Amino acid sequence: MDRRTLLGTLAAGAVGAGLHAKGLGPGATDAKPTENPLADYAARAFDFGTGLPGLGKELLAEHLALYKGYVSRTNALLRDTLAAEREGKAGPAVQELRRRLGFEFSGMRLHELYFEALSASAATPSASHPLHQAIAATWGSFDAWWAAFRATCTMTGIGWGVLLKDPATGRLMNAWFQDHENAVAVGAQALLVVDVWEHAYVRDYGATGRAKYVDAVKSLIDWRVVEKRF
Ligand SMILES: [Fe+2]
């Protein structure tokens, strides 16, 4: 069990828990396990240059800074939680550490899944790929799936639109993750993640512009990355 698997399994409700049927954690396609399972997580480097079509440089820079905050808070919470456990503490303060750990760890991982699949030179879906055959078998067509996924991403509230696969059955499902620590469908693998917290789009699209943002993201999804997660 590599470090990502171990910590993903430990974090209550953490996104990606137990999702390693092919030896790759979600979002870990270019990440390397460390030999020290207690080493801090390092913020992944995502270079969006002067911005992406539909997502400005400033918005992306702010968003990456927010992501780095999740990474640093995850590291701090892992240290604090483990220290409390080694001291035999288990009271309300430790319970709050666990809730926060689920929130921060999942926020870290969801951002990695999101950023990793964004590209200015995104590959279009490969109709012959098993993922797209599964999408067509489930929703009837890619366009029908996207309509349902887009509706998921534009639900009232702040959160994440996610396309999940249950490795136990191969079933695909669209999901809405609102609070990171309450991410649902334990064991399901996140194939595609779209951040629809307001910080992801308000700067460029305004508070009422989420649907336009989601449509812009559609053209940035690098399906080579998504298909590799399948
Ligand atoms: Fe975000």
Question: For residue range 141-178, what is the model confidence (pLDDT) as tens digits?
Answer: 999 999 999 999 999 999 999 999 999 999 999 999 99
Ligand 1: distance of its center to the CA of 214 in Å? 13
Output the pLDDT for position 32: 63
Q: Which of 177, 173, 126, 167 is nearest to 148 (CA)?
A: 173
Q: What confidence tens digit (pLDDT) does each residue in 176-195 have?
A: 999 877 776 778 999 999 99
Ligand 1: distance of its center to the CA of 151 in Å? 19
Ligand 1: distance of its center to the CA of 133 in Å? 30
Task: Indicate if the pLDDT at residue 98 is higher than 90.
Answer: yes
Q: What confidence tens digit (pLDDT) does each residue in 8-67 have?
A: 333 334 554 333 333 334 444 455 666 788 999 999 999 999 999 999 999 999 999 999
Ligand 1: distance of its center to the CA of 39 in Å? 24
Identify the DSSP state of 161.
E
Q: Which residues contact 123 (CB under 8 A, 6 or more apart)?
A: 222, 223, 224
Binning pLDDT at 50, 70 and 90, where does residue 201 land?
Answer: very high
Torsion of CA 90, 92, 95, 96, to 10 degrees: -140
d(CA 219, CA 33): 31
What is the Cα Rg of the chain in Å? 17
Ligand 1: distance of its center to the CA of 230 in Å? 23
Q: What confidence tens digit (pLDDT) does each residue in 109-118 have?
A: 999 999 999 9
Q: Which CATH class is domain 130-229?
A: alpha beta
Identify the DSSP state of 45.
P
Ligand 1: distance of its center to the CA of 180 in Å? 11
What ranges do the domains of the chain cover?
3-116, 130-229
d(CA 115, CA 195): 9
Q: In this structure, what token pair is assigned to residue 132? A: 């797209």
Q: Which residue has the higher pLDDT, 207 or 35?
A: 207
The angle, 0 to 180 degrees and rounded to 10, between the axes of the packed helices 142-153 and 210-220 is 140
Ligand 1: distance of its center to the CA of 12 in Å? 20
List helix spans (H) across the chain.
Answer: 3-10, 57-86, 92-116, 130-139, 142-153, 202-205, 210-220, 223-229
Ligand 1: distance of its center to the CA of 194 in Å? 9
Output the pLDDT for position 37: 87
Ligand 1: distance of its center to the CA of 107 in Å? 8
